[in-house]
Structure 1
Amino acid sequence: MSATTRHLTVAKETPALWRVTFNNPPINLIGPQMIRELRDLLTDLENDDLVAAVVFQSADPDYFLAHWDIASDPAEVGDLPTGPTGFHPWLDILIRLSRLPAVTISAIRGRARGAGSELALATDIRFASREKAVLGQFELGTGAVPGGGPSSRLSRLVGRGRALEILLSANDFDGELAERYGYVNRSVPDAEFEEFVDAFALRVSRFDVRAIEEIKQYVNAVTLPPDTEFPPQMDAFWRSVARPETQDRATQMFGLGLQQRGETELNLGAALERIIVPPAVGRRAEGNG
């Protein structure tokens, strides 16, 4: 049984195994409509006591989830009804996703940057195509602070130094390097990728849902960041994107082909180097000193 909305297809392969496929051409951007659909999906998952495993994948082999739709109107998301956590809708989705009783698996083939990386980090397990996966938090390259909590999640996954390298380089990490760093659980040769993910998800889905939930609760208690860590990061994101220098960098990137299917989005880490850097502004400009 499957259900298709504008940007998601949810296939219930068995009562215990669900498969969610992202499909938002041209490059699987995350925007207000996808937020609405993810909220509905999470509600369904929270209310279903039979589902044991959920696989998140993409219909586009080049893009798992490219990043946030920078051209979208922030008010479309900000005006949505408050979710169960009471936080910003994107944080609400990520926190609820990380705390689902079912096991969540990101099958990353293609690019997962920015908010796409944040969603993958909020799932329990990340498998990457060795040849085709690309992950990264590119926000600093445009002058922005990541808002969806990768500073908290990456630090716990890969350690302080590597988290800072990922966040401060704003660069791309291929599947092999992402595995070495702990950004993903493992990278799998692309020719074997689908078979591997399917076998893992099916195996887990056959186990007792009550025991799965209890194991997750114990692991969550010692690994998940406290929810209170996330709102300050979202506040920092909004402050940073409002700066004229960040707006200038974003405008330049759109001129280079940001959010279009092409070389800039395929190799975004390298494309950031083409930005003409605005004049330097000191840390005390906003009273941070």
Structure 2
Amino acid sequence: MSAPLTQFTITEAAPGYWRVTFNNPPLNFCDQETLIELQRIVGLIEADDTLRVVVFDSADPDFFVNHYDVSRFADFPLTPGPTGLPTFIDATTRLTSSPVVTIASIRGRTRGGGSEIALACDMRFASLERAIFAQIEVGAGVFPGGGATERLPLLVGRARALEIVLGSDDFDAATAANYGWVNRALPDDELDAHVDNLARRIASFDKPALAEAKRLINRRTLPSAEDLMQTQEAFLNAFSWPTVPERGARIAQKRDEVGPDFEARMSYHLGNLGTETQ
């Protein structure tokens, strides 16, 4: 028997419809357990022939899924999954190719690896007042390694993808929706009902029709596993750059100086960090 999930809760909201809720207090960091449990959840999704739609959400209204916990980076999981790809790439490629429809219901900040998990979902809906998006990796001295450099250009175009990745800044939900990063930005008090209504509607349809429609759309809209793998390898190699530990030390110092505000306004502090060290 498998060990129980510790960071995710699966609820059957209706026949053929699951809600998967992430909760890793206090800051909803993505870490080794997050990726391993996500991989397990994808296996459960694949094994349920009656499942049609899964909604991913968060128990923390301030953080959907946060960036990877840098204090745990030495534990970054690389064990090959059923695809032969390492944990994160295995889980996200299987999620996007699954016949089950996946929807991210985003409330709070989603940055770095958390954003890349959301990007692996088929659809994303965001709280107009509470959702914040960022790929902060370049500001931290590296670059996205979990799919953002592949998936964002397909969604928002090359120029906007470069703005998002190279600028390492926060984007509000309205801008994210305008760019195509998310499907829609909705008033916070309407988000849950909108996503739930859509999920229930999808769950009422025949699975063969849903699965084939998704498969055909996937042919033109997904990055290759090879590109994702090459990016992750380059990302891991980047940590050998001599600039990375130096910038990491300055980030740690800034985090100690400003306390909780660092995670609340991480993109701001990364931007100022660069200015202060010219």
CA distance in 2, matches of 1:108, 1:62: 10
Amino acid at match of 1:10: I
Counterpart of 1:283 in structure 2 is none
Counterpart of 2:5 in structure 1 is 5
Residue 221 (structure 1) shift: 0.6
Residue 140 (structure 1) shift: 0.2
Counterpart of 2:49 in structure 1 is 49
Residue 34 (structure 1) shift: 1.4
Counterpart of 2:14 in structure 1 is 14
Within-5 A mapping of 1:160-179: 160-179=158-177
Cα deviation 1:217-247 (Å, max 9, x = unaligned): 0000111111111111111211222223112
Counterpart of 2:101 in structure 1 is 103
Gap change, CA 1:4 and 1:15, over 3 Å in 2 = farther
Counterpart of 2:87 in structure 1 is 89
Residue 277 (structure 1) shift: 7.0
Structure 2 residue corresponding to 1:126, chosen from 124, 127, 130: 124
Within-5 A mapping of 1:143-154: 143-154=141-152
Q: Is the 8 A contact 1:145 1:236 kept in 2?
A: no
CA distance in 2, matches of 1:131, 1:44: 33
CA distance in 1, matches of 2:259, 2:229: 32
Is 2:34 the counterpart of 1:40? no
Amino acid at match of 1:217: R
Q: Is the 8 A contact 1:145 1:233 kept in 2?
A: no
Residue 13 (structure 1) shift: 1.7
CA distance in 2, matches of 1:162, 1:217: 27
Residue identity over aligned pairs, in percent, reads 40
CA distance in 2, matches of 1:245, 1:61: 35
Counterpart of 1:262 in structure 2 is 260
Q: Is the 8 A contact 1:144 1:246 kept in 2?
A: yes
Q: Is the 8 A contact 1:46 1:100 kept in 2?
A: yes
Cα deviation 1:83-141 (Å, max 9, x = unaligned): 01212211111111111111100001001110001011110000000110011111000
CA distance in 1, matches of 2:259, 2:25: 9
Amino acid at match of 2:116: E
Amino acid at match of 1:154: L
Gap change, CA 1:261 and 1:11, over 3 Å in 2 = farther
Q: Is the 8 A contact 2:104 2:118 kept in 1?
A: yes
Question: 15-24 vs 191-200, which deviates more?
Answer: 191-200
CA RMSD of aligned residues (A): 2.0
CA distance in 1, matches of 2:161, 2:178: 13
Counterpart of 1:286 in structure 2 is none
Structure 1 residue corresponding to 2:273, chosen from 253, 272, 275: 275
CA distance in 2, matches of 1:246, 1:267: 21
TM-score by length of 1: 0.90
Partner SS, residue 187 of structure 1: strand
Counterpart of 1:199 in structure 2 is 197
CA distance in 2, matches of 1:100, 1:19: 16
Structure 1: gaps spanning 5 or more residues:
281-289
Counterpart of 1:187 in structure 2 is 185
CA distance in 1, matches of 2:123, 2:45: 17
Q: Is the 8 A contact 1:132 1:190 kept in 2?
A: yes
CA distance in 2, matches of 1:14, 1:130: 26
Flag as ranges the 4+ runs of structure 1 deviating above 6 A. Answer: 277-280
Within-5 A mapping of 1:55-66: 55-66=55-66
CA distance in 2, matches of 1:184, 1:198: 16
Cα deviation 1:189-213 (Å, max 9, x = unaligned): 1121111111111111111111100
Question: 83-92 vs 268-277, which deviates more?
Answer: 268-277
Amino acid at match of 2:217: V
CA distance in 2, matches of 1:245, 1:238: 14
Residue 75 (structure 1) shift: 4.2
Q: Is the 8 A contact 2:143 2:235 kept in 1?
A: yes
Structure 2: gaps spanning 5 or more residues:
none
Q: Is the 8 A contact 1:245 1:278 kept in 2?
A: no
